[in-house]
Structure 1
Amino acid sequence: MKYSTILSSLLLVPALAAALQAGEIKVSYPRENQPLPLVSRTFIFGTVSPATAPFFINGERVRPHTNGGFIAYLPVNPGEFSFNCELREGATGYATTFLARKVRIGPAAQNGAETPRPALELVSPSSDLELSQGDYLNVHAAGEPGREVSFSLGSVVEDEKMVEIPAGSGRYYGSYRVREGDRGRGLKLTARFGGVLRHSGRSSREVKVDILDKFTLVEISTDSVNLRSAEDGGYVLFLSSGVKLASDGRAGGMRRVWLTPSEHAWVEESKVSAVGRGAAPRTKTGSIRLKAQGAGSSALVTVYEKVPYSVEHEGDTLRLKLYYTRLHTNWVVYDSSDTLVGKVDMRQGAGYAELNFRLARELWGYNVAYGPRGLQVDLKGPPAMSLKWPKPLEGLKVALDPGHSRFYKCRDNARVPMKDFTYDAMPEGCWLDGAVGPMATFEVDVNLALADKLRARLSQLGAAVYMTRSGEENVELTDRPRLAVENGGDVFISLHNNAIADGEDPFGSPRGFSVYHYHPHSFSLARSVHRSFLSGIKLPDEGLRFGDYHVARMTQMPSILIEHAHMIMPEQEELLNTPAFQEKLAGAVAAGLLDFAGAPPQPTAKAAPGKKREKR
C-alpha cells in the first residue's frame, strides 16, 4: 500500500469516531436511589435509542420493543444495588452508551456502631393491649439461646414459663388465657431469664395491658368508617359518624368490636373516640314507613340510638341487620305507589333485629344512613332510559372517573402538583399517583384521554356524563364516589391502566385487561363490559373479578373499575398512546354499557333506492 493511502486512512479514523452518534438509555422505573422491598428478582423498564442496537443489563440481553421501550426481570442482591445498562455499538452508527441505575434492595443499613442488643427483649406484643375473659395473651421474646425464660403480667401472671422454638434459636414463646376474675388496668408486661440470670427484658416501649370487666364504649368520629372481619381482614360494615360501638379488645392500633356473642369486627382506633365504659348500647325498632321516590323507594326505620348495622343484597332481598337492637315494630306503612318494595318482614336474632326488604323489581343501588328521625334506607330502581336509537341511553347519567390525579403524593398527606417538578426531580418523600410506562407515559394522562373519548361516545348515545376530574385538579380517592352521588350519577365507571408490584414477574402470566366489581348489583355491569372487551380488544384477558377497591364499594349505583391494559408492557403502552386504540377501548366500554342497559342492536342503515342491477 502506498504511504499516501496509509496516511489518508489514519486521518479518517478520528473523523469516523466523531461521526458515531451517542445512543440513549432512559430508565423510567425504578428511580435513582429508590428503595425496593427485599426480593430476589425485580423488574426495570425504560427506553433506548436506537431500538435495534444490542442492549444488555448486568450482562443479560434485553430486547426492546420496536419503539425502544423495554422491560426486564432480573436478579438483584440485598443492599445497595446497581442495574448496569449497556447499549452496544453495532452496525447502527452509534457509539456504546452506558447508564447505571442505583437502587436499594431491602431495609437501609444502620449508620454508625450497632446498638448493643439487650440480653432479652420483648418482640410482641409491641403496643398496649386490652383483653377480655377468654382472650389469649401471646408473648414473644428474643435473647440468648438455651436459657430459661418466663413472663409476668402485673399481679395476674407471675413467671409463666416460655418455650424456645426451635431449640437454640433464642426465640421464646408463651401464652396465657385470661380467666374469669382476672382484673387490672395498666398491668406491666415483663420477661426475664430464670435461674441466676434474672435479667428483665426491655422493649422499644413499655407494654401495658388492661383486663376488661366492662366494654369500652366508643363512637365513630369521622364521616365514613369501614369495619373489618379481622385485624387484617376484609371489610364487613360501612358506618357513618356518631355510631356507637362496644369494644372488648385492643391491639396494634385496632379495636375489636363486640356485635353479638358470636360476631366481632375490627376498627382502626384512630377512627373512633372513647366515650366511657359499661354495657353495650341498647335500642329497639319502632315504626317503618315506606315512600315511593321516583323509580325507587325510601324507608324510614325508627330507632332510638345510632347502633351499628350491616346490609346484604341477595337476589330479591335487601337484608338489614341492626345490632344491639330489640325488634319492637308495631307498624309497617306502605306506599301504594311504591313499585320497588313489595314487602318488609322481620325477625329477632340473638342481640340483633333483622329487616328484610322484599323487592318486586331489580335493585339498581341503595344507601343506608342515619338521619334526624332514624335510619334512612333509600333503594334505587333502574332509571328510565329511552332504549331507542339513535339515543338509547337518554335518561341515564354516567359518572366517569379518570383514575388518579396530576399531583405527587407525599408524606403527611401532602400533595405537590406534577407541573412543578419533573418525574426525575420528584421531591424526596413523594411518589407518583398512578403508574408510569417505559416511555415515561403517565397513567393519569392516559386515563383522562380515555375518559374524554368515552364521554364523547356516551353523549352521542344520549347519556348525560359527569367526570370526577377533567384536567389538572387534585381529586382525592375518597371524594370520587361522593362526587358521583352528589351529581346524580346512575352508573359509576372508574378508568385505570395497570402495573404490578415490585418483585413480581411481568412475564409470569399474560398481562392485559380486567374488570372489577364489589357489590352484587354491580356484577351485571362488570360482566357486560368484560364480555365486550373479550370480543373487541385483542389483549390477554385477566378476567372478570371481585375487587375490594374503594370506588367499587359504593352502594348507591352499579360501580366498576376497569384496567384497560398494562402500562409497564412496552407494546401495550404504545397502544395506549394511540388515539385509534383509545377509541377502540372507549367503544368497548360503551358497548358493554349498552348491553347492560338492555338497549336493542343499532338498526342498520337502509340502502338508498336505485336502479336494479342488470343481469350480465
Structure 2
Amino acid sequence: MKRNILSILGLVLLLNLSTLNVNCAEIVYPKSNNVTIDSPRTFFIGSVNPDNKLTINGEPVEIHPSGGFWHTVNLSVGENIFKIDNGKESKTYTITRNNSNSNPNKTQLTEKKYNKPITIVTNENNIPLRSTPVDFGINRLQHLQKGILFRAIGEYGDFYKVQLARDDYAWITKSSMKELQNIDLKPVKIDSFTYEETPDKRIFKLKLSQKTPYVLYDNNGLDLTVYNVDSCPFNKYEIHINPIVKLFGFNSYYKSDNELVIEVNNAPVIDKNCPLKDIKITLDAGHGGSEYGAISPLGNKEKDINLAIAKKLQTKLQEAGAIVYMTRDDDSEVSLSDRVKKSNDNNSQIFLSIHNNALPDSLADRKATGTETYYFYPQSRELAKTLLNTITTDLELKNNGAKQQSFAVIRNTNSLAVLLELGYIINPEDNAKLMDECFQDKAAESIKHGLENYLNGIQ
C-alpha cells in the first residue's frame, strides 16, 4: 500500500514538473539572465505555451500560434531589471548597459605624415588594400599577395597611407606589412604582355621587373591598373578587358616574382530547354558544428535549417543536370577559407551561400521579416537580384533588396557569388515557415527557378 502511495505521489510530482515546463517561458536570447549589452535596446526571444499569457515588466508579449515570441525592450545606462511573468511563475533578467560615451581615455586619431617615405612589403597573402583607413566593409580595392612593395607616406591609427602613383593613394594595415630598411622603391618596368585562350577562360599575363601593387576592378568588364610603372602617364599602366557576353568570374595573382596573371572566366553556353545542364555550382550551407548561427524563438539552429534547404536544393539541381559541390553535407564545422577553396578548386561557375537572418541588439525595434541577397563584385549583382525577385515572388516573402557587402565567402571566390538570407529566423512567423519541411522544399524549388531565370537571361 505504502509503495502504491509513493508511486502515485511520484506520478503527481512528475506531472506537476511536466506542467511547469510547458508553462515556463524558454528564453533563447539574451543567453543568460545576467548580461551586459552595449545598446539602447535589445529583445527577448523565446517560446511559451501559446495558450498562456506572458508579460515582461507588465507589458503584454505578443505570442505567435507556434508559441514563439520576440519582444523589444529599451535599456537605460546602468542596470536594467526585467521580470518575465506567465501568471504562474516568473523569471528575472538583469541587463547592464555601459555608457559607451564615457571613455575618458579615448584619444582622437589624426593622420601623421612622414618626413620621408618608407618602403614596406606585404608579409602574408590575401592582404586587403583599402580606399579608407577602416578595417570593415566594401572599401577593399584589391587583395594582394606576399612580397609586394609599397611607398608609405604616413599613417592613421593601425594603417599605413601608401602612395600608389602620382595622384593615387590607399591604406593598408600595419600588422600585414614589414618595413624595409635602406631600400629606395623605384618604378617597375613592363617586359611583355601576352594573351592566351582556353575553352573556359581568357588569360592575360604581364611580365614585370618586380611585384608591384595593382587593382582589378569590375566595371562592365575589367579595369586593370598596375601602379608604380616606369614610362607610363602618372606612373600607372591601365587597360580595360571587355567581357565576352558577360563576366562570369575572374582571378588575379602573381605566378612568380614578376608575372601578373589575370584569368577571366567565359560565360557558359546555355541550353534554353535545360539551362542548368553542366553548370558547376557550389552550395554553401552556412555555419555548422559548434557554429550554430542564429537561434530561433523555438530553439531551432540556423545551421540545421541552412543544411536542410541546401540538401534539398542539391537534389533538385542535380536532377536538372547541374554539377553540384557542397561545402558541407553534414553537421561539420568548415572554415570560411575552406568553403572558398572548395568552390575555387572545383572551378565552380556559381557559388551560393544559404543563410537565415538575425539582427543586432541596436536594431531590435525593427520587426524584420523577408528575404535579401548579398553580392560583393558588381558581376554578381544581376544574379543576386534575379534570385531575390524569383524567391520573393514564388514564396510571397517580403523583398528586402539585393545589397553589396564584403562577406568573405562571396568576396574571395573566383566565380559569380551570392549570399542568400532566406528569412529572419528570429522572427516567430518566419521561424514557423523555415522549420516546415514543405516550405523548405518550396524554397529549394524557388532557388532553382531563380538560377534558371538568370542563366536563361545571359545570352
Q: Residues 103 and 513 (structure 1 numbering): CA distance in 2 closer, same or farther, change over 3 Å? A: same
Are the equivalent residues in 1 in contact too, given 2:376–2:410 (CA < 8 A)?
yes
Q: Aligned partners of 1:258, 1:277: CA distance in 2, in Å? A: 18
Q: Aligned partners of 1:20, 1:473: CA distance in 2, in Å? A: 34
Q: Residues 503 and 463 (structure 1 numbering): CA distance in 2 closer, same or farther, change over 3 Å? A: same
Aligned pairs for 1:101-500 (under 5 A) are 101-106=93-98, 123-124=106-107, 131-132=112-113, 212-232=114-134, 234-276=139-181, 278-315=183-220, 317-326=221-230, 348-372=232-256, 374-389=259-274, 392-408=275-291, 434-500=293-359
Larger radius of gyration: 1
- CA RMSD of superposed structures (Å): 2.7
SS in 2 for 1:447: helix
Q: Aligned partners of 1:377, 1:453: CA distance in 2, in Å? A: 36
Task: Kindly indicate whether residue 424 of structure 2 is the aligned counterpart of residue 566 of structure 1.
Answer: yes
Q: Aligned partners of 2:160, 2:359: CA distance in 1, in Å? A: 32
Displacement of 1:384 in angstroms is 4.0
Q: Aligned partners of 2:298, 2:106: CA distance in 1, in Å? A: 45
Are the equivalent residues in 1 in contact too, given 2:357–2:424 (CA < 8 A)?
yes
Q: Aligned partners of 1:562, 1:534: CA distance in 2, in Å? A: 12
Displacement of 1:482 in angstroms is 2.3
Q: Residues 547 and 312 (structure 1 numbering): CA distance in 2 closer, same or farther, change over 3 Å? A: same
Q: What whole-Å deviation, never above 9, does each CA across 1:542-567 have from its counterpart, x for those lacking one?
A: 11222222222236211111110001
Percent identity between matched residues is: 25
Q: Aligned partners of 1:591, 1:240: CA distance in 2, in Å? A: 38
Are the equivalent residues in 1 in contact too, given 2:214–2:226 (CA < 8 A)?
yes
Q: Which has the higher strand share?
A: 1
**Normalising by the residue count of structure 2, what TM-score does the alignment of the two structures yield?**
0.89
Give 2:8's aligned residue: none
- 1:497 partner amino acid: N
Give 2:363's aligned residue: 504
**Structure 1: 4+ residue segments shifted above 6 A:** 17-20
Give 1:614's aligned residue: none
Task: Select 1:97's aligned residue among 81, 89, 109.
Answer: 89
Are the equivalent residues in 2 in contact too, given 1:82–1:103 (CA < 8 A)?
yes
Q: Residues 19 and 299 (structure 1 numbering): CA distance in 2 closer, same or farther, change over 3 Å? A: closer
SS in 2 for 1:500: coil
Q: Aligned partners of 1:82, 1:75: CA distance in 2, in Å? A: 11
Displacement of 1:583 in angstroms is 0.9
Are the equivalent residues in 2 in contact too, given 1:214–1:277 (CA < 8 A)?
no
SS in 2 for 1:305: coil
Q: Aligned partners of 2:169, 2:250: CA distance in 1, in Å? A: 25
Give 2:38's aligned residue: 37
Displacement of 1:579 in angstroms is 0.6
Ranges in structure 2 where 5+ consecutive residues have no aligned partner: 1-11
Give 1:535's aligned residue: 393
Q: Residues 367 and 575 (structure 1 numbering): CA distance in 2 closer, same or farther, change over 3 Å? A: same
SS in 2 for 1:287: strand
Moved more, 564-573 or 514-523: 514-523
**Normalising by the residue count of structure 1, what TM-score does the alignment of the two structures yield?**
0.67
Are the equivalent residues in 1 in contact too, given 2:371–2:392 (CA < 8 A)?
no
Give 1:603's aligned residue: none
- 1:582 partner amino acid: Q
Displacement of 1:478 in angstroms is 2.9
Are the equivalent residues in 1 in contact too, given 2:309–2:440 (CA < 8 A)?
yes
Displacement of 1:21 in angstroms is 3.9
Are the equivalent residues in 1 in contact too, given 2:244–2:267 (CA < 8 A)?
no
Aligned pairs for 1:575-590 (under 5 A) are 575-590=433-448
Displacement of 1:292 in angstroms is 1.0
SS in 2 for 1:242: coil
Task: Select 1:517's aligned residue among 367, 375, 391.
Answer: 375
- 2:377 partner amino acid: H
Task: Kindly indicate whether residue 28 of structure 2 is the aligned counterpart of residue 28 of structure 1.
Answer: yes
SS in 2 for 1:572: helix
Displacement of 1:286 in angstroms is 2.1
SS in 1 for 2:25: strand
Q: Aligned partners of 2:313, 2:380: CA distance in 1, in Å? A: 19
Q: Aligned partners of 1:459, 1:276: CA distance in 2, in Å? A: 57
Q: What whole-Å deviation, never above 9, does each CA across 1:287-330 have from its counterpart, x for those lacking one?
A: 11111121321111111211110112222x32110011125xxx
Q: Aligned partners of 1:491, 1:20: CA distance in 2, in Å? A: 49
Q: Aligned partners of 1:107, 1:58: CA distance in 2, in Å? A: 23
- 2:122 partner amino acid: I
Q: Aligned partners of 1:575, 1:71: CA distance in 2, in Å? A: 16
Give 1:413's aligned residue: none
Are the equivalent residues in 1 in contact too, given 2:351–2:413 (CA < 8 A)?
no
Q: Aligned partners of 1:277, 1:570: CA distance in 2, in Å? A: 63
- 1:323 partner amino acid: Y
SS in 2 for 1:124: coil
Displacement of 1:387 in angstroms is 4.1
Greater relative contact order, per chain length (Cα 8 Å cut-off, separation 6+): 2
Displacement of 1:388 in angstroms is 3.4
Q: Residues 57 and 320 (structure 1 numbering): CA distance in 2 closer, same or farther, change over 3 Å? A: same
- 1:36 partner amino acid: I
Q: What whole-Å deviation, never above 9, does each CA across 1:320-369 have from its counterpart, x for those lacking one?
A: 10011125xxxxxxxxxxxxxxxxxxxx3312111222344322111111
SS in 1 for 2:218: strand
Q: Aligned partners of 1:131, 1:237: CA distance in 2, in Å? A: 24
Question: How many matched pairs?
Answer: 438
Give 1:56's aligned residue: 55
- 1:374 partner amino acid: E
Give 1:162's aligned residue: none
Are the equivalent residues in 2 in contact too, given 1:237–1:309 (CA < 8 A)?
yes
Displacement of 1:278 in angstroms is 4.9
Q: Aligned partners of 1:518, 1:305: CA distance in 2, in Å? A: 30
